[in-house]
Each structure stands twice: as structure tokens, then as C-alpha cells.
Amino acid sequence: MSLLDDFISLIFPRICACCGNSLWKHEVIICTSCDFHMPRTNFHLEKDNPVSRIFWGMARIESATAYSYFNKGNKVQRLVHLLKYKDRKDIGIFIGEKQGLFLKNSPFFSTVEIILPVPLHKKKLMQRGYNQSEQFAIGIAGAMHVPVNSHILFRTKYTETQTRKSRFNRWRNVSEMFALRDHSLLAGKHILLVDDVITTGATLESCISVLSSVPGIRISIAAIAVTIH
């Protein structure tokens, strides 16, 4: 079996998604060095943190966190790019599993009962073939042993990319863009709303606005990365 693995690795080399160097047999997706130097936020340990402050005065949430910092040219930007545009769904699941282990042991997230990924419009979903936030959610769910529901929250209209938009224009672009299929499934639940990257928080604010109509709901947020200005 080892010889077969070695033969396959010659044809399909296993390389680190961050640095491109070859992975050792015990390494998966990311090499040990890149994983060690990953710019993690550890915000799951802080109730008051830079991610939760993004939503102050905009949306009522329980807690918020991001796995890592997102900066132009850093390792995380490469990982997100591969996840979103290069069919690397495994990256989303991998990071989700790591994040899920943190959240499972956090006093602010351990009571989460259901995970909702920020949905893509069906047109964009058909173009890409998958929802990158859903892959992240799947990874978190596996580590936390909490179900994922990818259908109850959905987009009602197609919008252009949010890249390079100001906070106001992002908010206007996503305002009243989401809807729920069944309120009863979420009533009285602590839900975790997950996205890939938080920049202004406009998309998440729009989701929260819709979810807040559910009686007794408590909403927390987790993302792969956050840009802090």
C-alpha cells in the first residue's frame, strides 16, 4: 500500500495549499509550517472582539468569530481563492473542522444547535457548482456534531460581486436579498451563521435581519477569515 501511495504521489503530487511545497505523509492540505504560522484570531475566546464589533448597532448577535485574518497576499487569501474558484472544497471542510474544534470548546459557541451557511443564488451556485460557505459549515458541523441546514435560508435575487464595494454600496447590494422557508425549524434555537470572508459584514447583516424575525432565535457568526482595517 505504501508503494502504491508513493507511485500515485509521483503522478499526482500532494502539495501544500499555502506554499506549494510537498506534503509529508502525515500532513493534509496544509504543511506543518504553514499551519503553525497561520494568522489565527482566537476570537472564539473573547466575547468582545473586532468581529463582533463590526455588527455593533447594526445587528443583534450572541457571539462572532473568524478563524484567521485576511490580508492581501497572505496565506489565507490563497486558501480562500482556491476554495472559491479552483474547486478546492476540501479546503473549506478542512478549515471548518479546525474551527469546529475551537467552537466546540468555547463557552460562547458550545450551545450552537444548527449551522446555516450564507447561501449563494441558484444562478451562481450553478456556475460554481458548490457553495464555499457550505463546505466550511460541513467541516464545523462534523467537529461539533451539529447539523447543517443549507436550504432554509435562501437568496431571493442575484447580485454582482461585492468586491471593491464600499460598506454602504455592499449593504444596498444585499438589502432584502434573503428569505426563510420555514421559521419553525429555527424557533428558540442557537444558530451559527457562517460565511467565508467578513469585510464590512453587510451580507451577514442582511441574513441576520431576516433570521431575527424567528421567535426566540439566538444568532452567532463564524467565518473563515476577517479583514480588519
Q: Mean pLDDT, to the nearest integer, of 48-73?
A: 94
CATH code: domain 38-226 is 3.40.50.2020
Taking 3-state DSSP, the helix, strand and coil percentages for the chain, each rounded to the nearest 5, stand at 40, 15, 45
Residues 6+ apart with CB under 8 A from 173: 159, 160, 162, 165, 202
Q: Mean pLDDT, to the nearest integer, of 82-102?
A: 97
> pTM to 2 decimals?
0.88
Contact indicator for 54, 200 with CB cutoff of 8 Å: yes
Where exactly are the structural domains of the chain? 1-37, 38-226
φ, ψ dihedrals at 35, nearest 5°: -65, -40
Residue 4 confidence (pLDDT) above 60: no
Residue 114 confidence (pLDDT) above 90: yes
